[in-house]
Copies of this chain bind each other. A is one copy, B any other.
Amino acid sequence: MIAPTAFCAAGAGEWQIETIRSILGPTLPAAGFLKITDGDAGKNEQSNLWTLRGTAGHARYVTRSETNQLLERQEALGRKGATCAALIPIRKSETWWTLAQDERRSIMEEKSRHFGIGMDYLPAVARKLYHSRDLGEPFDFLTWFEFSPDSASAFEELLGRLRATEEWQYVEREVEIRLTRTMIPQSTADR
């Protein structure tokens, strides 16, 4: 079943937090490690410094043709060499959310080429999107990126291009959390 996932700032975890910085708006408190768990379990653990939840549900904007291109080019999370990660929580403005579906789609794709920009960095930069807004969370989206150290500069370029788009004018809070893997993953089947 579809259910929320929790990203928990904790004293130990699969991912070591290298940096946390605000791109826009308030940052998040510093922490040592990130643990990724089932949403409800994560929310109720008092020992976590902070917890962000989101649901990796169905895609909301991409067309069938775009979906097929993605399926052809993207690779799974948990690749052996992909020891670098970023978690980027974003909140968009009320103006964004009162736009109709066709208006949001037009800004994202026709004007900002969000999908096309992401495609340019596949399969190097694997990506997974979690929806948080309906859960009553402080952010609307959490995006998880995984890549090898060799692709770190390509990842910087991807972020720079996305942040220069018209779509990003609707972002009112953005935090960037950089991480490195502390061990080889056993399995990513539960992600």
A binding-site residues for B, Cβ under 8 Å: 1-4, 39-40, 55, 57-64, 66-67, 97-103, 105, 131, 133-136
Q: What 10 pairs across the A-B complex have the smallest Cβ distances?
A: A3-B136, A55-B134, A64-B100, A63-B102, A67-B100, A58-B97, A134-B134, A57-B134, A63-B100, A131-B134
* CB-CB nearest in chain B for A134: B55
- The number of times this chain is found in the oligomer is 2
* CB-CB nearest in chain B for A130: B134
Tell me if B2 and A134 are in contact (CB < 8 A).
Answer: yes
Tell me if A102 and B134 are in contact (CB < 8 A).
Answer: no
Given A60-B101, A64-B102, A98-B58, answer yes or no on A134-B135 (Cβ-Cβ < 8 Å): yes
Task: List, in ascending order, chain B residues with CB within 8 A of A58's CB.
Answer: 97-98, 133
Complex CA gap A62/B60 in Å reads 13
Tell me if B101 and A63 are in contact (CB < 8 A).
Answer: yes
Tell me if A55 and B100 are in contact (CB < 8 A).
Answer: no
Complex CA gap A62/B58 in Å reads 17
* CB-CB nearest in chain B for A103: B64
Contact among B57, B103, B136 with A1 in the assembled complex (CB-CB below 8 Å):
B136
Task: List, in ascending order, chain B residues with CB within 8 A of A100's CB.
Answer: 59, 62-64, 66-67
